[in-house]
Amino acid sequence: MQFSAIPLNILGDAGGSMNYVTTGSWGEAAIKEAKKYGKATECANNTKDKYWTVDDPSTWKVDPEAKYFHFCDNETI
């Protein structure tokens, strides 16, 4: 329920977009839930190396109109 609370509280009824960096299982769950409430842009996804690294931020595809940015730096995978 926490993953839905964030977009519901920040986006509200107006909707909007959100930025997500997928860094592991918590990030995957968060973006999956967020897609139910608005446009969730996956800026980066590091599944290719099993979440050991994060792509350089200069390569991220960030939506400049997004209302917030989600990054979980403490994955427990």
Residue 77: per-residue pLDDT: 59
CA dist., res. 13 & res. 15, Å (int): 6
pTM listed for this prediction = 0.87
Task: Give every residue of the chain whose pLDDT is below 50, as ranges.
Answer: none
Half-sphere exposure in the Cβ direction for 74 (13 Å, CA): 0
Residue 27: per-residue pLDDT: 92
Q: Which of 60, 9, 7, 57 is nearest to 35 (CA)?
A: 7
